Amino acid sequence: MSVSVSDLADSRAATDALLRTLSAGRGRPRAVAGFLRLAAGRSLAQATFRPRAVGQLTALHSVLLAAAPDRAGVTWVTASWTLGVLHLGLLERRDRLALADVFTLLRGNLPALAAGAGRWSGLLAVALDFADGRTARRRGTVSPFGEHADSIADAAFWTWLALRHEPGRTVRLAAVGAWLLPVAAVTADAVRAGRMPERPRPVLLRPAAALQLLLAVRHLRRRSPAAPAG
């Protein structure tokens, strides 16, 4: 299946067009290779059109790299930068990151920093989450890039916090169910249907928000990071 220029006019149409190539190929190696080739080509083009956003991403992640205490942190920050650059098309009509996007990226990279293991990291993540949403709404900078980065940052930070520092097996399983399983389900549905699904509305995310507060408070009350129970 070919992808026309008109299909790539905006982020949703472009994503749907790319997913249709994957869905139509039913996961065959040739279809997967074609999908990756088209996706890489679009990502490169979108990054080229937005040099200021690339510069902002690079500057922010350079600071984070300097603050990463170990190789695992460096790998985490590098992956974050790569994902950011590959998804700049989701900025749509904007050519730069907004302040809300910076808050989101900082939250998603807390596990890469020494502060991520600190007792206050959960509450810091909640504060950054509140700040990015409030800032985006007040400044009118809501975008698909920010929305999807927000979902990924939530899944990355809270699942990491639960699996790395939460001793309760039930709470760890709840975290996987709240963040990792929805990401897997949405991805599978997108590939099957050949289109980008709608992002869940906030009313559906309230149980996850309550779990965030629970994890943050439990982490704050610990004297030191706890190893997961066996």
- Rounded to whole angstroms, the Cα distance separating 213 from 126 reads 8
Band the pLDDT of 182: cuts 50, 70, 90: confident
Range from 37-46, 48-57, 76-85, 203-212 carrying the lowest mean pLDDT: 203-212
Band the pLDDT of 204: cuts 50, 70, 90: very low
- Rounded to whole angstroms, the Cα distance separating 191 from 188 reads 5
Q: Domains of the chain: which residue ranges? A: 1-49, 51-221
For the segment 106-150, what is each residue's pLDDT rounded down to a tens digit? 999 999 998 776 899 999 999 999 999 999 999 988 888 998 899
pLDDT of 208 reads 82
The tokens for 170 are 């039930």
Block residue for tokens 């869905």: 23
Nearest to 21 by CA among 35, 33, 11: 35
For the segment 40-66, what is each residue's pLDDT rounded down to a tens digit? 777 788 888 899 999 999 999 999 999
Block residue for tokens 């169910």: 177
Nearest to 2 by CA among 44, 45, 38: 38
